[in-house]
Amino acid sequence: ARIAGGGRAWGYPQPDWSPPDHAGHYQEVIYIDPYGNAMTGLFAADLQSASHLIAGGQEFRPVRTFAEADPGEPVWLANSIGLAELCLNGDDCAARLGLSRGDAVTVATAG
């Protein structure tokens, strides 16, 4: 509605960006969004639902939605383009854990 009324869009301007053609094959952070969520180069569908991801010295458990995580809990979920995304519910994951593009992401089986 804001845009239709001639106002600015909410959020931060982003440079033209799209995932690399080879996304899904990299165990690393490939993008940090304006909220501090860290997109990985891993296809969420390729990960077992019991797989935990490790990045920045923190273990992330899988969830389907943010609502399944407690505030500040480290979780990962499938984002809108099918990649695994690391987040802290209600917090800036990248800033809190010092994550940046190129940081390693390890796949670990829960247990």
Q: What is the pLDDT along the chain (111 residues), one digit of tens a residue?
A: 555 666 555 555 555 555 555 555 789 999 999 999 999 999 999 898 779 999 999 999 999 998 999 999 999 999 999 999 999 999 999 999 999 999 999 998 765
How far is CA 63 from each of CA 15, 21, 28, 110, rounded to the nearest angstrom?
Answer: 29, 26, 19, 13
d(CA 63, CA 61) in angstroms, rounded, equals 7
The model carries a pTM of 0.77
